[in-house]
Amino acid sequence: MIKHTCNMDNLTVDSLFKEAEKINDPVLKEKTIEFLKNPLPTHSEIELSNVSLEESPASVKRHHKYPKGLLEHTMAVTKLSYNIAVALEEVYGLELDKDLIVAGALLHDIMKPQNYQIKEEIKEYKVKINNNDKNCKDFKDNENSDEKTEKTEKTEYITETKVIRRFDHSSDFHLEHLTLATSELYKRDFPLKLIKVVSSHHGDYGSSRPDSIEAWIIHHADNMDANLNDIAIRIGNSRARDLNVDDNKLYEKITPLKIYELRSHIGKENLIEYLKNMMNSNEENKR
């Protein structure tokens, strides 16, 4: 029997505070935790998005595009960066600034929620209805007895209309997330070396290039987690279409990377059956 837990159920901003406890410098630790507690732009002309750090995705269409995706991504990048630093120290005898790595990883995407907005859209889904289903009494009561007998082995479909909440890019944000984060770090008087790490975490494709091993570690950890999730998202979205469910509803119960892992272990058809049973079980538990 396959068993899994959805780690996002227990993932909160408090989880990031616990990672910040790895920072030894008391001033940098305090500043980092304070920014995580109040991750809002302080410039008077910037209108707040009202998307919280806790609910924000890490992107709209690609990696970690679901609620809490940014928390998940930030946690993964922080743990990856720290453990890469430990491995490099052990193998090469380096003395890396792990305070800088932890703080930089925790804050590298801190302003992404300010680039998003929540939109509601109406979607129609076809839902299978079996006449033997006890929940379909209203359908059967309107039929005469002969018709009931004839249709007991048929599967009918009804159309359900649902309101789906989705994230989109804000149409009127003032600055993209990296520029906004760098500006806030300056204003909040973070050390220049921390500002450089955050501002250069896009690597060769950013406005500034990493100039330290610590900065490159965060860049590669960021890329690794994002790229893996990109691959998994494509698989997860395909399985959501197979099940005729909204992909974000699926990701509330199981992360894309777990879907990818299960497909590798049990194959596509078994995965579809497993996800179908999981979603049906969740719907029954709500009744």
Do residue 157 and residue 28 come from a single domain? no
What contacts 24+ positions apart, CB below 8 Å, involve 41-48? 41/111, 41/114, 41/180, 41/183, 41/184, 42/184, 42/187, 43/174, 43/183, 45/174, 46/114, 46/174, 46/175, 46/180, 47/172, 47/174, 48/114
| Position with higher pLDDT, 145 vs 21 | 21
Q: Is residue 187 part of a domain?
A: yes
User: How many domains does the chain divide into?
Assistant: 2
Least confident range of 42-56, 84-98, 167-181, 255-269: 167-181
Do residue 157 and residue 176 come from a single domain? no
Least confident range of 21-25, 185-189, 204-208: 204-208
CA 258, chain centre distance (Å): 13
HSE toward the beta carbon, residue 96, CA cutoff 13 A: 25
Condensed to tens digits (0 to 9), the pLDDT of residues 63-83 reads 999 999 999 999 999 999 999
Q: Which domain holds residue 19?
A: 7-118+168-286
Q: Is the pLDDT of residue 143 over 60?
A: no
Sign of CA dihedral 210, 213, 216, 221: negative
Q: Is residue 2 part of a domain?
A: no
pLDDT of residue 175: 80
pLDDT of residue 139: 35
Q: Is residue 233 part of a domain?
A: yes
Percent of the chain with pLDDT over 70: 78
> CB–CB of 197/104 below 8 Å?
yes
Do residue 64 and residue 101 come from a single domain? yes
Condensed to tens digits (0 to 9), the pLDDT of residues 26-57 reads 999 999 999 999 999 999 888 888 899 999 99
Q: Is residue 51 part of a domain?
A: yes
Do residue 154 and residue 197 come from a single domain? no
> CB–CB of 246/123 below 8 Å?
yes
Do residue 128 and residue 248 come from a single domain? no
Do residue 34 and residue 13 come from a single domain? yes
Condensed to tens digits (0 to 9), the pLDDT of residues 92-139 reads 999 999 999 999 999 999 999 999 987 766 666 666 665 554 444 443
Do residue 101 and residue 142 come from a single domain? no
Q: Is residue 47 part of a domain?
A: yes
pLDDT of residue 183: 95
> 256-266 and 213-243 are packed helices; what angle lies between their axes, rounded to 10 degrees?
70
Do residue 139 and residue 281 come from a single domain? no
pLDDT of residue 118: 79
End-to-end CA, the chain: 25
Q: Is residue 1 part of a domain?
A: no
Q: How confident is the model at residue 8 (pLDDT cuts 50, 70, 90)?
A: low
Q: Say how far apart CA 128 and CA 107 lie, in whole Å.
A: 46
> CB–CB of 214/101 below 8 Å?
yes
Number of Cβ atoms within 10 Å of the Cβ of 245: 18
Q: Is residue 98 part of a domain?
A: yes
pLDDT of residue 39: 96
* The pair of three-digit structure tokens given for residue 69, joined into one six-digit string: 């995706």
Do residue 159 and residue 187 come from a single domain? no
pLDDT of residue 282: 64
Do residue 261 and residue 216 come from a single domain? yes
Do residue 204 and residue 131 come from a single domain? no
Average pLDDT of the chain is 86
pLDDT of residue 281: 80
Do residue 103 and residue 203 come from a single domain? yes
